Structure 1
Amino acid sequence: MHSSHSNRATGQRKISRPGTSPRSRNHTLATGPPAVNMRRTPDKMGAQERRFLEAAEKGDRPTLTACLLQTEEPFDINVTDAMGRTAIEIAVDNENIEIVELLLKNDNIKIGNALLCAIREGVYRLVETLINHHSIQSNKAMLGEDWPKTLDPAEAASAEYSSDISPVILAAQLNQFEILNMLLQEGANIQRPHKVSCLCETCENERLTDSLHHSLKRINTYRALASPAWMSLMSADPMINAFKLSWELQQLASLELEFKDTYVQLSEQCKQFACDLLSQCRSSEEVIAVLNKSNVPDDDERTDVWAAKLSLCRLKLAIKYEQKQFVAHPHCQQLLTSIWYEGFPGRQQRGSFVNVLVGLLLISLWPVLALCYVVVPKSRAGRIVRSPFMKFLYYSISFGCFLILLTLATFEPYRTMKGEIKGGLNTRASDRGPAATVIESLVCFWVFGMLWSEVKQLWDEGFKKYVHQWWNWLDYLMMSLYLCTFSLRASAYYVYSYKEGAEDYRFAIRTHWNSFEPMLLSEGLFAVANVFSFARIIYLFQTNPYLGPLQISLGCMLVDVAKFCFIFILIISSFSIGLAQLYWYYDPETPVCTTPDSCVMEPNVFTS
């Protein structure tokens, strides 16, 4: 891999010098505190050293051997050229393995940045040759977390890569699978960064010394951890690791706002890696095996994947970590579609008109099939209702009937009566504790059915998952309001029907009722519950490809509207406080005196 690509991957800055060959690497500004460079400059370089570097550049083995063997004019074997490259680095850039092997025979050779250059070029044999050198074999920890300790501070300031980029981190960032595997076999490892809020001594010292270097070190480490090569080689379950790391990077993006774009990009890289893994599936059975896999090993999952098709543990985990790309993947959607329409076979083969007729037939059979589902759930008719599509269809029909009952309860005949009959005595409109009508009893029956459904959902999903779904909060408010309504109605009926002496003042015109009359409170709560009930229809829009995006847009719009409302309230409050400060002296009413003894209190211009 060429140097230009490596620097894009590691986020480095380069300074180009004139007269550089295409294969020569450019000088890079390293991240870290400035240091004094004690290397020789080209104008102070001796003739023998210049000849030595030219031989390394041209690959002139005889001349290079002669320079190494001569003892009359000693020179520094680690001398650098105008670009700051040593002879071994030049040989690595030129991928000249013979010259590299010749230079490594000298005990005074410093490998240093040459190993990183070999990893950047992606030449496996070069990296293997450098790693086998005794200077590295004696301290294998330098391939990982001890790499900064082995660098000369004077050289690290002008090196191509930052001091925190170790060989294993660079190999992971560049997705060099074979080289990374070799480094891991040598014992190299990447230490996971501490939390942003970590208060350990190491983090505190790094923040005080150079906060930018501390942040860039964290980013470079996460670049390596988020690489497909690292996740593939180091994770027992790369897909789960990609989910969790993507979620972690999203959290870091909201904490370190200065590097938000970088963390978001790395998070998207992890999401794409999970999608690429799913793309490797070549059959529905493989997709089911992937989506059904859980963190707990289970032998039954491997024996029959079709039997546990509806568990979809991996898919639920993707939803938990907000992996939208994974859930929207064609393989995942195709499986979900097949599961969704399992009880509605032949949907795609039939025309739209036939599908409408079949749908109307299923709707007309709703009471019969629902009864079969309750009485004989294991029968053929009961199994039909168990499919997701049939459950959703009949749930929608049931909720539609519930809304029809609410509408009928709102326009019952006693509510539409006119004249004295409506407001007179001994009528239902003036009854403080009326009994429930047939329609109101059906509404109560439906509410208790939906309440039982919510209890079952809470039992199946658990309290934590249940409260994390915003639609469940709407259901909770709706059920609470209806239960409060029923309680007030029942208490009012009991008080005015069975309490001694209550019959004498049971009937009265509503204008004479107490403001906190149970019947008035129940009607108010019932009205609010009706609003929530009709708003619940929006939940059904999710299955429609046209109304679903509108629902999402509506949700985002409400958040923006709330932000604008906050700004408006802030502005109006500031003006109100300013006006009150100006007009605090004037009373709402001012005495107007026609004579000294005749004064009348009248409102003035500042009354309101």
Structure 2
Amino acid sequence: MRGSSKSSGRPIPIPLEPLKEGHRIDPLERLFLEAAERGDKHTVIRCLHGPRPVNVNCTNILGRSAIQIAVDNENVELVELLLKQDGVRIGDALLYAIREGVYRIVEMLIDHPSITRDMLGNAWAGYKLEENSGIESSDYSPDISPIMLAAHCNQFEILQLLISRGARIEKPHRLTCSCTRCKEEVQSDSLRYSLLRINTYKALASPAWISLTSPDPVLSAFKLSWDLEKLAMRENEFKDILNELSEQCKKYACDLLDQCRSSEEVIAVLNKSSDSDNEGDDSDEEVDCERLTLDRLKEALKYEQKQFVAHPHCQQLLASIWYEGLPGWRKSNFFVRTVIIVILIALMPLMAVYYLIFPRSRLGQLIRSPFMKFMYHSASFGVFLFLLILASINMGSREQTQIQRKQRRGPALSPLEWLVFLYVIGFIWSECKQLWDEGLKAYIRQWWNWLDFIMLSLYLCTFTLRFVAFIHSLDEEQYGPKMLPRTKWPSNDPTLVSEGVFAIANVFSFARIIYLFQANPTLGPLQISLGCMLIDIGKFLFIFFLVLTSFACGLNQLYYYYTDSDKTQGAVIVDNGKEYENAFDPLLQSYITLFWALFGLTPLSTVRESSVHELTKSVAEALFMAYHAMAIIVLVNMLIAMMSNSFQDIQDHADREWKFARSKLWMGYFDEGSTLPTPFNLIISPKSIYYFLKRVRRLVQSCLVSKTDKPRRKSNEMHNKTYCTLHDYVSSFSFIRLKE
């Protein structure tokens, strides 16, 4: 075996090619190679310039040339001597020098006339094969170029040297790329093509490469980590490697944040804008929470960089912004906090009125702080839930009114229901402002926004049906009498449908309060675990539906032929004049029966007590038994195991997961706007009117200037101008509430 490297301590791999036989090596070549191993410069010179000069590219039994031996021993003088010889082949010597990190030797090797700029990058493979007459090296794949190896080894100085000489690493094409080059490489050797992609991504994920080539290393690490995670989901063969590289990029971003020594430096990192690298100088700005944009933090949330967001430096800055205007809040005890919160919530109407009149005052600035906005919005939603409870139990209505309400088709909204309707309109307007500020893609990326959309849609449907029912009640000739016992109402009566939709909306409303648990360190991890469990339930339902369908179809096929089709009161089995309910016909009834069987609500008599043949009963009972064993013993326990695994995964990283979720919640209250909670956000404030008039004036001035500068335009330019003007007008009109 070859010896160990002197500098790195790593064992040098044995080449795959056969070892040369000792008696076939020329004695002079043996002397020359042994002198190179010892570093005997004078003996090397005598062998090279003697009466019978040796071949400078001769190799020993391990296939190593003299220059490779000299590089491996870090003998700079000997390398310099060998490079002066005519016809010397550098080969893997450059890669050895890069691996050992000997800057001087690397510089001498790349300055050799046989090494061009292209060879340091993509052209290295062709150079190696041409140098070795088509035979690949035993130590390194021809796809491993010098710059790629320098990135793999994180050799900063050598990598900077190679970059200064023009070496580059090309990012691999997409996995679905169908260009000619990708097709040829896949058809030629799919494994070599995949390994080339993996080695390239290893180089691109190198901290040294990102630091030296990216103008924004943090953002580059975010994007590359995100791409590698998505690629790992598609290339399952290299999933572990790609996930490891993704974690390496995340750790690199956190290591950069570790270098911050003050709040100003943290702000300089988190305020970095992705639009321009030289736009403004955030590092010189003072710590002013109103001027913080936190663009880099928003990118971290977008690319799900949980380690970065949960970093202590990042969390400390977020906490200071969150509790701005409330000095000593975090140091006070639970009782003091509770008293302050109760007082502030009780003063919420007065605070809202004061803010509408004096938004720029000191107290107005306090109301605009993130914590105050969160507290008031949460309190507003709590009042909404309280109104739902009162509306559900018909609180506030007289007994005579309640009796009349039970028989009235299309009743008018009660004062309590009008309050609920007002809150719903306020929530809808708040969601519209959020959609305007964040954009459609960012809005739909958050699952809680989907829950809000479903909840508000159900409430809108409820009130729409109530309005339709009220209109129908005015026309008694077409839709029947207005006062009628509820049992005699048609099943599709709009009032009944609205009550059903309202009940479902109430469930979504109370489920929405779980979103607020993210602000609590105890309930936050539980809420995150619940979300992961819901994903597991979705996966389980897919498998369970296949099993349920198989048994439902089988039992339905057995009992279908025994159903009395003349009966109109559902599917029944007649046995000597005695009727039995057929629990497996039609197919939907079979699904329902098997579903309730999971909870022990389907008795065994459903397959035994009927007039079907004994053989049919036996087969049905066997299927029913197999279903219970498969669904209850196997599938349900599998679901429990999946949910336990998800819960444990969250608990293993509970602090990181909770801080990431809490940061997403906090960021929704850091931006300007949406200060007042529902229903105060429906009031048009003087400040909104001022912004509206100011924007209209700016719009008029821009139109006048454009007419003065360019009186004549082409037809298509006029069309674009008209569109932009209309768009600006709509934007100005929307500013009346968006700039709250």
TM-score over 0.5 for the pair: yes
Please give the alpha-carbon distance, in whole angstroms, between the structure 1 residues aligned to 2:173 and 2:69: 37
| CA shift for structure 1 position 586 | 4.8
Contact map agreement 2:117 2:167 (CA 8 A) in 1? yes
Q: 1:95 to 1:450 in 2, by over 3 A?
A: same
| CA shift for structure 1 position 40 | 5.3
Contact map agreement 1:226 1:269 (CA 8 A) in 2? yes
| CA shift for structure 1 position 71 | 2.8
Please give the alpha-carbon distance, in whole angstroms, between the structure 1 residues aligned to 2:563 and 2:495: 42
Please give the alpha-carbon distance, in whole angstroms, between the structure 2 residues aligned to 1:148 and 1:508: 88
Please give the alpha-carbon distance, in whole angstroms, between the structure 2 residues aligned to 1:601 and 1:349: 76
1:469 aligns to 2:449 (yes or no): no
Please give the alpha-carbon distance, in whole angstroms, between the structure 2 residues aligned to 1:92 and 1:150: 20
Contact map agreement 1:97 1:126 (CA 8 A) in 2? yes
The aligned residue for residue 144 of structure 2 is 165
The aligned residue for residue 79 of structure 1 is 58
CA deviation profile, 1:265-311 (whole Å, cap 9, x unmatched): 10111111111111111111121121111122333756645455442
> What is the SS of the residue equivalent to 1:27?
coil
The aligned residue for residue 529 of structure 2 is 553
**How do residues 392-471 of structure 1 correspond to structure 2 at under 5 angstroms?**
392-413=374-395, 427-471=404-448
Q: 1:575 to 1:353 in 2, by over 3 A?
A: closer
1:64 to 28, 33, 44: 44
Contact map agreement 2:19 2:61 (CA 8 A) in 1? no
The aligned residue for residue 388 of structure 1 is 370
> What is the SS of the residue equivalent to 1:541?
helix
Please give the alpha-carbon distance, in whole angstroms, between the structure 2 residues aligned to 1:502 and 1:222: 72
The aligned residue for residue 325 of structure 1 is 307
Please give the alpha-carbon distance, in whole angstroms, between the structure 1 residues aligned to 2:408 and 2:437: 43
| CA shift for structure 1 position 344 | 2.1
CA deviation profile, 1:209-238 (whole Å, cap 9, x unmatched): 221111111111111111111111111111
Contact map agreement 1:113 1:159 (CA 8 A) in 2? no
**Which deviates more from structure 2 when the two are superposed, residues 432-441 or residues 473-482?**
432-441
For 2:469, give the aligned amino acid: A
Contact map agreement 2:47 2:54 (CA 8 A) in 1? no
**Which deviates more from structure 2 when the two are superposed, residues 367-376 or residues 283-292?**
367-376
The aligned residue for residue 103 of structure 2 is 124
Contact map agreement 1:29 1:159 (CA 8 A) in 2? yes
CA deviation profile, 1:402-455 (whole Å, cap 9, x unmatched): 1111001111258896xxx7996xx12211122222211211111111111111
Contact map agreement 2:5 2:12 (CA 8 A) in 1? no
Contact map agreement 1:467 1:473 (CA 8 A) in 2? yes
Contact map agreement 2:101 2:155 (CA 8 A) in 1? yes
Percent of pairs identical after alignment?
54
2:3 to 3, 8, 20: 20
1:259 aligns to 2:238 (yes or no): yes
Q: 1:492 to 1:174 in 2, by over 3 A?
A: same
> What is the SS of the residue equivalent to 2:97?
helix
1:568 aligns to 2:551 (yes or no): no
CA deviation profile, 1:84-133 (whole Å, cap 9, x unmatched): 21111111111111111111111121101000000111011111111121
Please give the alpha-carbon distance, in whole angstroms, between the structure 2 residues aligned to 1:517 and 1:583: 35
Contact map agreement 1:59 1:91 (CA 8 A) in 2? yes
For 1:286, give the aligned amino acid: E
**How do residues 508-519 of structure 1 correspond to structure 2 at under 5 angstroms?**
508-519=484-495
Contact map agreement 1:193 1:218 (CA 8 A) in 2? yes
1:356 aligns to 2:338 (yes or no): yes
Contact map agreement 1:422 1:430 (CA 8 A) in 2? no
Q: 1:75 to 1:583 in 2, by over 3 A?
A: farther
For 2:212, give the aligned amino acid: L
Contact map agreement 1:140 1:188 (CA 8 A) in 2? yes
Please give the alpha-carbon distance, in whole angstroms, between the structure 2 residues aligned to 1:491 and 1:376: 42
> What is the SS of the residue equivalent to 1:190?
coil
1:273 aligns to 2:252 (yes or no): yes
Please give the alpha-carbon distance, in whole angstroms, between the structure 2 residues aligned to 1:21 and 1:289: 46
Count of residues in correspondence between the two structures:
569
Q: 1:370 to 1:41 in 2, by over 3 A?
A: farther
For 2:50, give the aligned amino acid: Q
The aligned residue for residue 296 of structure 2 is 314
For 1:520, give the aligned amino acid: L
For 1:20, give the aligned amino acid: G
1:216 aligns to 2:195 (yes or no): yes
The aligned residue for residue 119 of structure 2 is 142
Q: 1:585 to 1:433 in 2, by over 3 A?
A: closer
Please give the alpha-carbon distance, in whole angstroms, between the structure 2 residues aligned to 1:410 and 1:163: 74
Please give the alpha-carbon distance, in whole angstroms, between the structure 1 residues aligned to 2:432 and 2:385: 21
> What is the SS of the residue equivalent to 2:533?
helix
**Which deviates more from structure 2 when the two are superposed, residues 361-370 or residues 46-55?**
361-370
**How do residues 508-547 of structure 1 correspond to structure 2 at under 5 angstroms?**
508-547=484-523
Contact map agreement 1:156 1:162 (CA 8 A) in 2? no
1:54 aligns to 2:46 (yes or no): no
> What is the SS of the residue equivalent to 1:84?
coil
Contact map agreement 2:14 2:62 (CA 8 A) in 1? no
Contact map agreement 1:292 1:309 (CA 8 A) in 2? no
Please give the alpha-carbon distance, in whole angstroms, between the structure 1 residues aligned to 2:488 and 2:402: 11
Q: 1:423 to 1:511 in 2, by over 3 A?
A: farther
Q: 1:399 to 1:107 in 2, by over 3 A?
A: same
Please give the alpha-carbon distance, in whole angstroms, between the structure 1 residues aligned to 2:157 and 2:281: 35
Please give the alpha-carbon distance, in whole angstroms, between the structure 1 residues aligned to 2:138 and 2:390: 80
| CA shift for structure 1 position 589 | 7.8
CA deviation profile, 1:575-594 (whole Å, cap 9, x unmatched): 2333455566555589xxxx
| CA shift for structure 1 position 374 | 2.7
2:222 to 232, 243, 257: 243
RCO higher in structure (CA 8 A, sep ≥6): 2
1:366 aligns to 2:348 (yes or no): yes
Q: 1:415 to 1:370 in 2, by over 3 A?
A: closer
For 2:280, give the aligned amino acid: D
Contact map agreement 2:465 2:498 (CA 8 A) in 1? yes
Contact map agreement 2:5 2:72 (CA 8 A) in 1? no
> What is the SS of the residue equivalent to 2:42?
helix
Please give the alpha-carbon distance, in whole angstroms, between the structure 2 residues aligned to 1:246 and 1:390: 35
| CA shift for structure 1 position 361 | 2.1
> What is the SS of the residue equivalent to 1:135?
coil
Q: 1:102 to 1:176 in 2, by over 3 A?
A: same
**Which deviates more from structure 2 when the two are superposed, residues 75-84 or residues 282-291?**
75-84
| CA shift for structure 1 position 490 | 2.4
Please give the alpha-carbon distance, in whole angstroms, between the structure 2 residues aligned to 1:304 and 1:215: 47
**Which deviates more from structure 2 when the two are superposed, residues 201-210 or residues 230-239?**
201-210
The aligned residue for residue 625 of structure 2 is none
Please give the alpha-carbon distance, in whole angstroms, between the structure 1 residues aligned to 2:48 and 2:481: 118
Contact map agreement 2:476 2:482 (CA 8 A) in 1? no
Please give the alpha-carbon distance, in whole angstroms, between the structure 1 residues aligned to 2:157 and 2:36: 27
1:299 aligns to 2:313 (yes or no): no
The aligned residue for residue 75 of structure 2 is 96
Please give the alpha-carbon distance, in whole angstroms, between the structure 2 residues aligned to 1:485 and 1:507: 21
1:337 aligns to 2:319 (yes or no): yes
For 1:288, give the aligned amino acid: I
